[in-house]
A and B are shown apart, each in its own frame.
Chain A
Amino acid sequence: MIEIHKEENFFVVLSQRLDAMNADDAKETVTQELVDIDRNIVIDVSGLEYISSAGLQVVLKCAKLAQESHKECFLKGAHGTVKEIFQVSGFLTFLKEME
């Protein structure tokens, strides 16, 4: 569901489903692991099959943490309906897409 790796960027890897059932846990993981943000954050959704507004709030939290630390937040691998959800909700106005 969520994994966070610290490499040249922070990689937040979201996979399978991110919905109202698991979003709170994912948010908790973000709070615990995304600390001392000294590099950009890349949210990799290439393995994400479903996201709802509850899941979007996890992404929003990552973006806000990046912004507070004056870093960039990128979205990687969005496709199909998942991408459409990011688009229509206005999230692509502040997340930068990367290949």
Chain B
Amino acid sequence: MLKLIIPSYKKFLPLLNSFINVSSEVFDVRQIQDKIELCAEEAFIYLLRNSYRDEEGDIEISIEVNERYFILSFIDSGLPIEIAFPQTAAEGIQSIDTQTLELLLIKKFSHMAEWINHGKAGREFKLYFELPQQAIYTLTEIEESEHFEVSADDIEIKPFEKRWATEISQIIYKAYGYSYPNEDLYFPERIIALNESGQLVSVVAYDTKRDRIAGHYALERESLGSVAEIGQAVVVPSYRGLGLMKKIRKKTQEIGKELGLEGIMSKPVTVHLFSQKTNEVLGAVPVGMGFGVSPVKKFKKIEADSSQRGSCMYYYLPLKNRKRVLWVPQRHKQVIESIYTDLKLDYALKEEDDRPRENGTVQSAYSPDFEVGSIYVTAIGEDNIRYIKEAFFNLLFRMKAEVVLLYIVMEDFNIETLISQVEDEKFFFSAILPSFVEGKDVLVYEFLPKDIDESKVEIYADRAKELVHYVSNEKRKAV
């Protein structure tokens, strides 16, 4: 740990800057040096103004680096203060709050900030900066330099056991760095708890000879519904070339069937073709396209576009068939019917133009990991659009959602009017997902405030390309 103690005067700021800059060089984090320097100044000035209020005292600054973070800490024994971070940035000149501007920048440029009270020993303002991707990459390469001969005979595909939780976290970390949006995977105890509750169903490729994990896939069932999302796919580099990805996924699908699921959906990224190809090979069907539904993150070791949000295809693998009666909007009837034909699911269309009930049901949720807002219309009613607008406003302007997805059940009532209303609000057709919400088939609509550059979207299958073309046209009409 490196330490610096400076008096509580602004004139010592250059000394703090030098300390930060030299430490950044020593710990080889020059890529994020400007952000650390900025937050150091903001924290120092904030403490001078609020904790010392021009009185003399000392501030102890320390720096330490662990596997994940560069940690910058300020310990002072000035006036007790409470640090409350502003929730959002200002919008417009009148709403700029110069008193909290320092904290706003700290919030935006550090990964995490903590305020710890040490009693008589003072208070600690601790700022965490995630180590640059390159540093994680280098670390992984060192660990993976071990070479051994692998054989498919050594591998068994097995359901989750508690003892593998830490290893699952480690291989996800090695494959994705800290860029995987679902952070539960970085906490072994959460992996155990989620597997126990059934919200996560992990399947691993286990190397019996070396007692280690060679790969992982999982079903995610947050609400324990009848459709699970498949993902968290990793094969440890030393075990590539054995076809493990396909084998683990096949086993995962079998387990899904045993659990009585109606289907499995997946969202393969469109920055490369591999995951889409796996979906096609294992019988999943493209059912839509989600533009910008993934947060801006670099996929480790994969050439990816970090300048804009990521896009995903929606694939669906039916595990059960049932007869469903659907109301579909005339304007999208053709594409919806072609998707159902590909899925080989039994359906009948209803077209009566009855008036819907007065009151429907609309719910909403926000996912901070993905910065995505979701609105669910689970019962069709005349008041749907009012509640959709209310939820939409909340998600977009209060929660600052980057994308809003709207799920509309097709198995309840005529949705023709509602579809016209939501398309007037600039939502566009994105996908259909059978049995996805409360066991019912839904239409997925999307609202995308910032358009996506589609030149970087790669699509594998021809029928998927047709679907993407259709959704893209709908998007163009709306954006």
Contact = CB atoms under 8 A, between A and B. Distances in A.
Interface of A: 19-21, 50, 52-54, 56-57, 60, 63-64, 67, 80-81, 85, 88-91, 93-94
A21 to B, nearest CB: 6
Contacts of B38: 50, 52, 81, 85
Contact of B105 (A50, A67, A88): A88
A62 B189 CA distance: 52
Given A50-B37, A52-B38, A90 B13 contact: no
Q: Which 9 A-B residue pairings sit nearest by Cβ, starting from the closest?
A: A90-B90, A90-B89, A53-B101, A88-B108, A94-B93, A81-B34, A53-B102, A52-B41, A93-B91
A18 B104 CA distance: 18
A52 B105 CA distance: 8
B96 interface: yes
A53 B45 contact: yes
A93 B34 contact: no
Interface string B76-99: 000000000000011111011010
A90 B10 contact: no
Dominant secondary structure at the A interface: helix
Contacts of A81: 34-35, 38
Dominant secondary structure at the B interface: helix
B42 A90 contact: no
B325 to A, nearest CB: 48
B119 interface: no
A94 B102 contact: no
Contact of A89 (B14, B41, B101): B101
A89 B96 CA distance: 8
Interface string B126-167: 000000000000000000000000000000000000000000
Interface range for B: 20 to 34
B172 to A, nearest CB: 28
B13 to A, nearest CB: 6
Nearest to B91: A93
A56 B100 CA distance: 12
A48 B37 CA distance: 15
B93 A89 contact: no
Given A21-B13, A53-B102, A53-B105, A94 B41 contact: no
A20 B98 CA distance: 13
A68 to B, nearest CB: 11
A85 B104 CA distance: 10
Contacts of A60: 93, 96, 98
Contacts of A53: 42, 45, 98, 101-102, 104-105
A79 to B, nearest CB: 12
Nearest to B90: A90
Given A50-B37, A90-B90, A57 B13 contact: no
A7 B221 CA distance: 63
A90 to B, nearest CB: 3
Given A50-B37, A53-B101, A57-B101, A20 B10 contact: yes
A88 B104 contact: yes
Given A89-B101, A89-B104, 15 more contacts: A19-B41, A21-B14, A50-B38, A52-B38, A52-B42, A53-B42, A57-B98, A57-B101, A67-B93, A80-B34, A81-B34, A85-B38, A88-B104, A90-B89, A90-B90
